[in-house]
Structure 1
Amino acid sequence: MQDESGSRRDEPPQGAMPEPAPERTSSDNPPIFNLPPGILAALALVIGIYVLQDFVFSERTNQWVAVEFGFSPVRYLYPLGEQSFAWLWTPVSYSLLHGSFEHLAFNSLWLAAFGTPVCRRIGEMRFLLFWIVSSVAAAALHALVNWGEPSLMVGASGVISALMGGACRFAFGDRQRVHARLSGREPPLLSVGQALSDRTVRVFIIVWLLGNVAIAFGLPMMGAGSAAIAWDAHIGGFLLGFFCLAFFDPYSRKPA
């Protein structure tokens, strides 16, 4: 049969069933936010807390939140039995607070970038435990460097630094990416020596350390606003992530 232009149209023979339309798979409709649930939950939590502080809480309430949930080294100079239990939860709760929208946005971007590969590798529950431990490690080094000072630290930068350190053990280096693509599995966790011998990892660590040394000497950092930056907490978190990821890694039989 031909149409008006004279070209022939192919029609199925009478009685033949039309071919079914191809099934649509999940890959045809990729998710808008391709982030693990753990990262989405963390982002929702820190953003939700900031929204409450910025739009709902009064100034007096925000001051109370900062004192009761921000981390301060001076708290540990006093007998723990003579104060509230804030000394117990502030080494973790400070990581959920942010002092400005710029601070929040900057940390959220880095959390999505480096938290995603770590969370996918170790799983949601281990990611939660990793967040708690790395937050405590970052606060511990900050307290050691600033012992007795009445400073107040907030922000997830120490945890994000730990995620960066952890990513150095498996996410960098061409050899690791090729192995993952060919095997369809997570790349093997590099030992500390293997990671340091990888040129990509070395360059990343050197640049990261130089940036924090510059911060220690007073160079302002994007995303910090006018507040001082706890560079020591960054280093504490990074060291925890780099040296201790194997304790959280389900693909490692023993720490390297």
Structure 2
Amino acid sequence: MSHKNDPAGHGPESRKREPVFNLPNVVLAMVLLMVAIQVALDSLLPRAAVLEIYLQTAFIPQRYAVSMAGQAGPYLWSPITYSLLHGGYAHLALNCFWLAAFGAVVARRIGPVRFVIFWLLSALASAALFLIFHWGDQSIMVGASGVVSALMGAAARFAFGDGGGFRRDRAHLNERLSIAQSLTNRTVFGFLVVWFGINLLAAVGFSFGIADSAIAWEAHVGGFLFGFLAFSLFDPIGHSQSDAY
């Protein structure tokens, strides 16, 4: 599609001047928050305090198989706070990379307030599916991977466009595809196959070189399905004529 008029300043010259890392403020704020938390946990706080923080804020399925008495706070907030913690700098860096890639286009699309609400609800959705598969056990889940997966699912509804192309500076302006249209879009369908294929490998035990921790593929799938299926509830821009599907 050609654009003769470019009032938003997205012409060739503006693209040359565009910074490589041009993140929306809300995405940058989330990255900085997670980095600050990781630095504090890794370098500033005593080990006993770090262990207590993980106990109180990580998502632990066993918490929900016993009485809520005596753990009301963590019972309520850990399905969200776990998304801000990470198992180390490598885990954090990977999530921040994908957050910058997919979170940026979604944030430009829906704005900062909806983005924060989307983050909270996608964290809950990710934790919910993880809980179903791990009810009552002592697994400890941390990381923004479920939220990032939800952002990937949301981006799949609009970022590739009808023609399958992707332009980082304009992807947020594309028309939203219905679920049916997304599934028949070759680029989107290919993206879905690759994404679910990778998580299927994780489900059967392939570690992708991550030696010290299991991949919470259940949280990834829960987040992705939430983002893909529920994105229209957050989208303030255009929609397709068959968006009910």
Per the shorter chain, which TM-score range? 0.7 to 0.9
Helix, strand or coil at the partner of 2:72? coil
Partner of 1:242: 228
Is residue 62–residue 136 contact of structure 2 (8 Å, CA) maintained in 1?
yes
The structure number with the bigger radius of gyration is: 1
The yes-or-no answer on 1:228 pairing with 2:214 is yes
- Of residues 73-82 and 101-110 in structure 1, the stretch that sits farther from structure 2 once superposed is 73-82
In structure 1, what is the Cα distance between the partners aligned to 2:156 and 2:48?
42
TM-aligned CA deviation for residue 188 of structure 1: 1.1
Matches within 5 A, 1:156-235: 156-173=144-161, 175=163, 186-221=173-208, 224-235=210-221
Segments ≥4 residues shifted beyond 2 Å: 25-33, 81-84, 173-181, 252-256
Change (3 A) 1:215 1:184: closer
TM-aligned CA deviation for residue 239 of structure 1: 0.1
TM-aligned CA deviation for residue 79 of structure 1: 1.7
TM-aligned CA deviation for residue 60 of structure 1: 0.7
The yes-or-no answer on 1:67 pairing with 2:58 is no
> What amino acid is the match of 1:191?
S
Is residue 158–residue 171 contact of structure 2 (8 Å, CA) maintained in 1?
no
Change (3 A) 1:51 1:190: same
In structure 1, what is the Cα distance between the partners aligned to 2:98 and 2:166?
24
TM (norm. structure 2) is: 0.86
TM-aligned CA deviation for residue 85 of structure 1: 1.2
Q: Name stretches of at least 5 consecutive residues in structure 2 with no aligned partner.
A: 1-12
Helix, strand or coil at the partner of 1:249? coil
Helix, strand or coil at the partner of 1:85? helix
Is residue 179–residue 187 contact of structure 1 (8 Å, CA) maintained in 2?
no
Matches within 5 A, 1:79-228: 79-173=67-161, 175=163, 186-221=173-208, 224-228=210-214
> What amino acid is the match of 1:250?
P
Deviation by residue 1:194-238 (Cα, 9 ceiling, x = unmatched)? 00000001111011111101001110125x442011100000000
Please provide the CA RMSD for this pair.
Answer: 2.5
TM-aligned CA deviation for residue 81 of structure 1: 3.1
Helix, strand or coil at the partner of 2:163? helix
Deviation by residue 1:49-68 (Cα, 9 ceiling, x = unmatched)? 00001110111111001110
In structure 2, what is the Cα distance between the partners aligned to 1:208 and 1:110?
13
> What amino acid is the match of 1:214?
L
Partner of 1:22: none
Is residue 102–residue 225 contact of structure 1 (8 Å, CA) maintained in 2?
no
